[in-house]
Amino acid sequence: MQDRFVYADNAATTPVAAEVLEKMMPFLTTQYGNPSTLYTLGHSSHDAVEEARKEVALLMNAQPEEIFFTGCGSESDNMALRGWLHSPQNKGKRHLITTAIEHHAILYTAQALEKEGFDVTYLPVDKNGMVELDKLAAAIRPDTALVSVMFANNEIGTINPIGKIGALCREKGVIFHTDAVQAYGHVPVDVKAMNIDMLSLSGHKINAPKGVGAIYIRKGLSPAPFITGGGQEKGRRSGTENVAGIVALGEAARLKRIHMEKESAYLRSLSKKLIDRVLKLPQTILTGHPTERLPGTCSFCINAIEGESLVLMLDMNGICASTGSACSTGSLDPSHVLLGIGLSHEISHGSLRLTLGPQNTEEDVDYILERLEQVVTTLRAMSPIWHAE
């Protein structure tokens, strides 16, 4: 059945780029010095980390000294929320605003902060998954410490009006964090023009390996550190640096700076072809914003299909895809994102996310379409709830 292997789950993770692997390799072999040491071997590790910091900064128009390396995007999100609410600079303000459709790295952290006694507002989003400015403005209070709104959603690809949200927060004097794990390296990000105070990103979503991330913290802000020790990363995140991972992240950022525009135009055209054809399947909808969306994200709900069955059958055809519904985990709850944009439980169960990357080809898309159409027909033929109109 498997005539081809197509990886179409680039929002879950991405393959490491060949150039990235090549650039990091010396730091896994001959250049193993600790960046903190005084002798020459350590200097080359130190210099490589600082070079990577410059590259990561450049792709978001930040200063290198505003970039701090972490272990992953989730850690960066935790540092922004927990670190800022516990920072002496926050002056005891106890209110956090976020949205109902954030990644769990934000949502579960916000819930943990609620248990500590902080007050959290989960803003609803519109039917396309966008934050509404007037609702955000109305939610800001004198004791609001932080607004955290994701740049782009990982399930439905919707891109928020981050520049407008940043301007509003700056005007109201509230610190603004954005989880840009899906956006950084995929769409233009400018922390200065967009008035962003803190931003999270992750290596493995931009063709660097898993286990390295970064946070941008605007100069002058000091979230409280939660890993104390040797004082690496200017005391913000102790622990000997993941030099190879950091070098890889820097190289990935450099490559995205050079290729992002071309890649996103290419992905937009591939996605358009995929989306247009999938929407020809009866009783199928696109989820997320029709135009303000990540270039490679194609997300749907297909009526009378169970998302998990669909993903397993696509896997038998060599296609990696994902769904927001997961019955095998014992819960019948569909994704909080799909419920958050107002879809019913029933519709949400048929969710399918195909996320394309620059390595995907036209032939990949043709193959996905051919097999998806067959699989949907097969599953619907077995479904007790399918009624063709």
Residue 154 binds to ligand PLP (criterion: CB under 6 A): yes
CA atoms within 13 A on the CB side of 378: 11
Q: How far is the C-alpha of 217 from the C-alpha of 213, rounded, in Å?
A: 13
Question: Please, is 339 exposed, middle or buried when counting C-beta atoms within 10 Å of its C-beta (0-12, 13-18, 19+)?
Answer: middle
* The binder of ligand PLP chosen from 6, 17, 130, 150 (CB under 6 A): 150
- In the complex, least distance from residue 175 CB atom to ligand PLP, rounded to whole angstroms: 19
- Tokens coding 255: 């490559």
- In the complex, least distance from residue 192 CB atom to ligand PLP, rounded to whole angstroms: 22
Residue 252 binds to ligand PLP (criterion: CB under 6 A): no
Could you identify the residue written with the tokens 């990982």?
Answer: 154
Residue 207 binds to ligand PLP (criterion: CB under 6 A): no
- Tokens coding 29: 């072999």
- In the complex, least distance from residue 11 CB atom to ligand PLP, rounded to whole angstroms: 6
Kindly tell me which of 101 and 375 has the beta carbon lying closer to ligand PLP: 101
Residue 357 binds to ligand PLP (criterion: CB under 6 A): no
Residues 93-112 that bind ligand PLP (CB under 6 A): 103, 105
Distance set, CA 325 to CA 48, 114, 286, 322, 349 (Å): 42, 26, 16, 9, 5
Q: How far is the C-alpha of 122 from the C-alpha of 340, rounded, in Å?
A: 11
Residue 205 binds to ligand PLP (criterion: CB under 6 A): yes
Kindly tell me which of 103 and 256 has the beta carbon lying closer to ligand PLP: 103
Kindly tell me which of 90 and 178 has the beta carbon lying closer to ligand PLP: 178
* The binder of ligand PLP chosen from 109, 202, 271, 303 (CB under 6 A): 202
3-state secondary structure of 178: strand
* The binder of ligand PLP chosen from 9, 55, 66, 179 (CB under 6 A): 179
- Tokens coding 172: 């109201």
Phi, psi of 28 (to 5 degrees): -105, -10
Asked if 324 and 338 touch (Cβ cutoff 8 Å), the reply is yes
At 281, which helix (H) or strand (E)? none
Binding window for ligand PLP (CB under 6 A); candidates: 70-78, 90-98, 287-295, 311-319: 70-78
Q: How far is the C-alpha of 57 from the C-alpha of 191, rounded, in Å?
A: 10
Kindly tell me which of 233 and 306 has the beta carbon lying closer to ligand PLP: 233
Please give the size of the binding site for ligand PLP, defined by CB under 6 A: 15
Residue 182 binds to ligand PLP (criterion: CB under 6 A): yes
Binding window for ligand PLP (CB under 6 A); candidates: 56-64, 126-134, 197-205, 261-269: 197-205
How many helices (H) and strands (E) would you count in the chain?
12, 12
**Alpha-carbon Rg for the chain in angstroms:** 22
- Nearest residue to ligand PLP, scored by beta-carbon proximity: 73
- Tokens coding 369: 């379409």
Residues catalogued as catalytic: 327
Asked if 307 and 323 touch (Cβ cutoff 8 Å), the reply is yes
- In the complex, least distance from residue 148 CB atom to ligand PLP, rounded to whole angstroms: 11
Binding window for ligand PLP (CB under 6 A); candidates: 72-80, 131-139, 278-286, 341-349: 72-80
Q: How far is the C-alpha of 323 from the C-alpha of 277, rounded, in Å?
A: 19
* The binder of ligand PLP chosen from 8, 23, 69, 73 (CB under 6 A): 73
Residue 181 binds to ligand PLP (criterion: CB under 6 A): yes
- In the complex, least distance from residue 34 CB atom to ligand PLP, rounded to whole angstroms: 24
Q: How far is the C-alpha of 176 from the C-alpha of 304, rounded, in Å?
A: 41
**Binding string, 209-248, against ligand PLP, x = CB under 6 A?**
----x-----------------------------------
Catalog residues that contact ligand PLP under the rule CB under 6 A. 72-74, 77, 103, 105, 150, 154, 179, 181-182, 202, 204-205, 213
